[in-house]
Amino acid sequence: MAIEIHWIRDDQSLAEHCRNWHELPFVAVDTEFMRVDTFYPRAGLIQIGDGQRAFLIDPLLIGNWQPLAELLEDNGVVKVLHACSEDLEVLLRLTGKLPQPLFDTQLAAGYLNLGFSMGYSRLVQDVLGIELPKGETRSDWLQRPLSDTQVSYAAEDAVHLAELFSQLRPRLSDDKYAWVLEDGAELVAQLRREVEPESLYRDVKLAWKLAPQQLAVLRELCAWREREARNRDVPRNRILKEHSLWPMAKSQPNNLSALARIDEMHPRTIRQDGEFLVQLIKRAASLPPEQWPPALPEPLPIEAAGVLKQLRAIGQAEGERLGIAPELMLRKKTLEALLKSGYPNGPYQLPDSLRGWRRERMGQALLDSLAGAGETR
């Protein structure tokens, strides 16, 4: 059956369609973008599905995104997306807004125990019995005109995404539907939480092995790299390779020759930013001790693996009771944060990342389990 496709190529048309979409209970939203040589995704196409038709918005021709921004924030219209973290970045970059309420079909599949982290094609095949053609993921979505294959692929995504919602929603209990929306709201909240460039050093592999003075250098290097990547709109590794950060902070090269000997140091980086980096390292290294970051905690010891397994089992058992994919229950990072709050002897504190229904249903059981583990050690 041929899909009815409507192109939106000017501001007036977008505003008119958005007025109509405000009257609907839900819209499916998808994006096609390029992100090969840039920090930020570049939108090539925005697709909207209303349950019957596909609307293809050409972002290269739209100047006023306010009508779509208002639709995204309309609480009366559910926005349906699939595995949407990058789509959210595209929408935020274009409109300055993020979708709410957000129903992610990949999450819904997990709540129905159909599978965890299911790809779109497989979910469409499992739920709708439709085999999609191989994707156009390597296409150039910024080229014009788009090929017939690209247009067909994009339109099918929008139509089938709406159909997925119509099939999955009735299968979810009211509780599970609320939890899917809660997790969707958390995805949006995570993107809204602006990551401070000065905090990124904590995520560098083996950063915990560095002394506070070396951490001060690592902090400044990571913050500079992040800001430059955003300002120049290029990938972080184009500014400075990930693997170069730790050895730079450790050895603190004080001239270009020493800098050139750092692991994975690109000659282009030496040419463009070498002198600046040497000065940045010198400045950071000479900061007074009161401006050094505190030492980072060591990773959990091997002996903690058994306790982590015990905590994970609480989530798995609750997942079995509720018929939810076990991977959706308690994330490893959350359990590690809980364990680090008091290991080995407690007391323990539930981390902020354990929120909502998970905290209500499993928080106390996790603390009780740790109290019991403490008694048996």
What DSSP line would sit under 240-297, residue for residue?
S-HHHHHHHHHH---SHHHHHTSTT--HHHHHHHHHHHHHHHHHHHTS-GGGSPPPPP
Is residue 34 located within the same domain as residue 147?
yes
Among 140, 168, 192, which residue terminates a domain? Answer: 192
Q: Which residue has the higher pLDDT, 363 or 373?
A: 363
pLDDT above 60 for 375:
no
Catalytic residue at 87?
yes
CB of 65 closer than 8 Å to CB of 95: yes
Is residue 26 located within the same domain as residue 151?
yes
What per-residue confidence (pLDDT) applies to 377?
A: 46
What per-residue confidence (pLDDT) applies to 349?
A: 96
Q: What is the mean pLDDT of the chain?
A: 95
What per-residue confidence (pLDDT) applies to 138?
A: 73
Which is the catalytic residue, given 120, 153, 177, 348? 153
What per-residue confidence (pLDDT) applies to 376?
A: 45
**Tokens linked to 125:** 């095949």
Which tens digit of pLDDT belongs to each residue from 29-57?
A: 999 999 989 999 999 999 999 989 999 99
Is residue 158 located within the same domain as residue 223?
no
Closest CA to 240 of 200, 268, 212, 219: 268
What per-residue confidence (pLDDT) applies to 137?
A: 63
Is residue 258 located within the same domain as residue 328?
no
Domain that holds residue 356: 302-376
pLDDT above 50 for 268:
yes
Which tens digit of pLDDT belongs to each residue from 181-209?
A: 999 999 999 998 878 999 999 999 999 99
Catalytic residue at 183?
no
What per-residue confidence (pLDDT) applies to 133?
A: 81
CA distance 293 to 282: 17
Is residue 182 located within the same domain as residue 209?
no
Catalytic residue at 157?
yes
Catalytic residue at 352?
no
How many separate domains does the chain show?
A: 3
Which is the catalytic residue, given 89, 136, 156, 157? 157
